[in-house]
């Protein structure tokens, strides 16, 4: 069975959904604000004769109809970074500020890490963690090419992340762009559908729950945690949120994204989830001509802050 059949009840237009999933994914680059501005990048691409199309909802993204983002000199000089449109969404939701302490729990190969550093004007501290030592070399390379200096790299299992090597004991914000079954990447990697098994979905969901729980624990009360995946599976999305909401002191909060999305689902396959998971965003390929994605934003310490507001010891 093609796993996409599982989600036909969740989409508004099954034919459009399936057709979009079968089309190749457009090549997209993100402007690196640490070294260049969008206007200067446009001028450089024009000078080089590189065809591009601005992405309407983000001035720092360009589609390259001819593909191969790494073959032009603005890319080589660190002005551009190849990054899918939907991959930019977690960073927008996180909204990291200069001077903050931010944890990227599953950081390699570094697209979102370097975007976060850019949003922070390369000030403060980004702790970029990944449990795969080999993939961290790509993260380091990307950070160096893009001129990022505020990022430190750690190699830990995020589920048991230790703050001991750091000079502080909590983060202001954390991003969990979790390892997943990757169904939403089928436009650039069709093999993910052939390799899909429900057993893998169940296994990776357990890992996702552990990482997200640790991110909540490591973030200060009032801080922000963003959870994202590139899968359609509710078992890896809303069910993970539902689990962590019951186990940790946090709440899912509403937030806006600048492209077409649909709310998270509250029921799936006989399971009912916390109603607040509806505040998450699902991105389907046929709505914006992108990959598939899921993104949710959590505020940490919701119960503790509520008790404090009522004058009760948390």
The confidence band for 66, taking pLDDT boundaries of 50, 70 and 90, is: confident
Residue 14 inside a domain? The answer is no
If you average pLDDT over residues 89-107, what whole number do you get? 98
Q: Would you say residue 312 has pLDDT above 80?
A: no
Within 10 A of 108 (CB to CB), how many other CB atoms are there?
23
In a domain? residue 184: yes
Residue 19 covered by a domain: no
Domain annotation covers residue 20 = no
**pLDDT, mean of residues 188-198:** 95
Whether 25 is covered by a domain: the verdict is: no
Question: Which pLDDT score is estimated for 305?
Answer: 56
C-alpha to C-alpha distance for 295 and 230, rounded to whole angstroms: 9
* Predicted local confidence at residue 144, as pLDDT: 97
Angle at 242 between CA 206 and CA 158, to 5 degrees: 40
User: Which residues participate in catalysis according to the annotation?
Assistant: 230
User: What pLDDT score does 71 carry?
Assistant: 83
User: Residue 207 falls within a domain, yes or no?
Assistant: yes
Q: What is the mean pLDDT of residues 48-69?
A: 92
Q: What is the dihedral of CA 177, 178, 180, 184, to 10 degrees?
A: -10
- pLDDT, tens digit (0-9, with 9 covering 90-100), for 135-184: 999 999 999 999 999 999 999 999 999 999 899 999 999 999 999 999 99
Look up residue 21 and give its two tokens. 């999933």
CATH number for the domain that contains residue 153: 3.40.50.150
Tally of structural domains, the chain: 1
Tell me the torsion sign for CA atoms 273, 274, 278, 283. negative
User: What is the Cα–Cα distance from 210 to 208, expressed in whole angstroms?
Assistant: 5
Res. 1: pLDDT tops 80: no
Q: What is the per-residue pLDDT for 221?
A: 97
Picking from 82, 183, 177, 181, the residue whose alpha carbon sits closest to that of residue 130 is 177
Segments forming the whole domain that contains residue 177: 85-309
Confidence of residue 222 (pLDDT cuts 50, 70, 90): very high
SS3 call for 164: coil
- Is 60 exceeded by the pLDDT of residue 310? no
Mean pLDDT computed over 220-226? 98
pLDDT (0 to 100) of residue 8: 96
Query: What is the Cα–Cα distance from 158 to 178, expressed in whole angstroms?
Result: 10
pLDDT, mean over the chain: 95
**Residue 111 falls within a domain, yes or no?**
yes
pLDDT at 236 over 60: yes
pLDDT band at 307 (very low <50, low <70, confident <90, very high): very low
Q: Let me know: does 286 contact 232? Beta carbons within 8 Å.
A: no
Whether residue 106 has pLDDT greater than 80: yes
Q: Of all residues in the chain, what percent carry a pLDDT higher than 90?
A: 92
User: d(Cα 112, Cα 102) in Å, to the nearest integer?
Assistant: 12
- Average pLDDT value for residue range 286-308: 85
Q: Looking at residues 44-61, what average pLDDT do you find?
A: 95
- What's the pLDDT at 132? 95
Residue at 165 is within a domain: yes
**313 pLDDT above the threshold of 90:** no
DSSP tag of 233: -
Helix (H, G, I), strand (E, B) or coil at 268: strand
């Amino acid at each position: 069975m093609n796993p996409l059949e599982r989600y036909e009840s969740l989409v508004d237009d099954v034919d459009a959904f399936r057709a979009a999933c079968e089309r190749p994914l457009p090549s997209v680059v993100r402007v690196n604000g640490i070294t260049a501005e969008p206007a200067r990048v446009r001028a450089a691409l024009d000078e080089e004769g590189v065809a591009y199309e601005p992405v309407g909802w983000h001035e720092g993204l360009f589609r390259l109809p001819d593909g191969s983002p790494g073959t032009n000199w603005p890319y080589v000089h660190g002005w551009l970074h190849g990054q899918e449109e939907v991959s930019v969404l977690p960073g927008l939701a996180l909204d990291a500020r200069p001077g903050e302490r931010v944890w990227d729990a599953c950081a390699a190969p570094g697209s979102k890490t370097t975007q976060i550093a850019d949003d922070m004007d390369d000030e403060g501290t980004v702790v970029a963690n990944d449990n795969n030592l080999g993939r961290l070399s790509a993260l380091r390379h990307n950070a160096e090419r893009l001129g990022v200096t505020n990022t430190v790299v750690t190699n830990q299992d995020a589920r048991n992340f230790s703050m001991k090597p750091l000079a502080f004991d909590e983060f202001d914000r954390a991003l969990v762009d979790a390892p997943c079954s990757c169904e939403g990447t089928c436009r650039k990697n069709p093999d993910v559908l052939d390799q899909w098994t429900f057993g893998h979905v169940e296994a990776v969901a357990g890992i996702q729950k552990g990482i997200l729980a640790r991110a909540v624990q490591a973030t200060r009360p009032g801080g922000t945690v963003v959870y994202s995946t590139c899968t359609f599976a509710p078992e890896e999305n809303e069910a993970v949120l539902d689990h962590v909401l019951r186990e940790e002191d946090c709440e899912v909060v509403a937030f806006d994204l600048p492209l077409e999305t649909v709310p998270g689902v509250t029921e799936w396959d006989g399971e009912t989830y916390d109603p607040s998971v509806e505040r998450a965003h699902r991105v389907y390929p046929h709505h914006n001509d992108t990959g598939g994605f899921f993104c949710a934003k959590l505020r940490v310490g919701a119960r503790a802050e509520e008790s404090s507001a009522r004058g009760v010891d948390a």
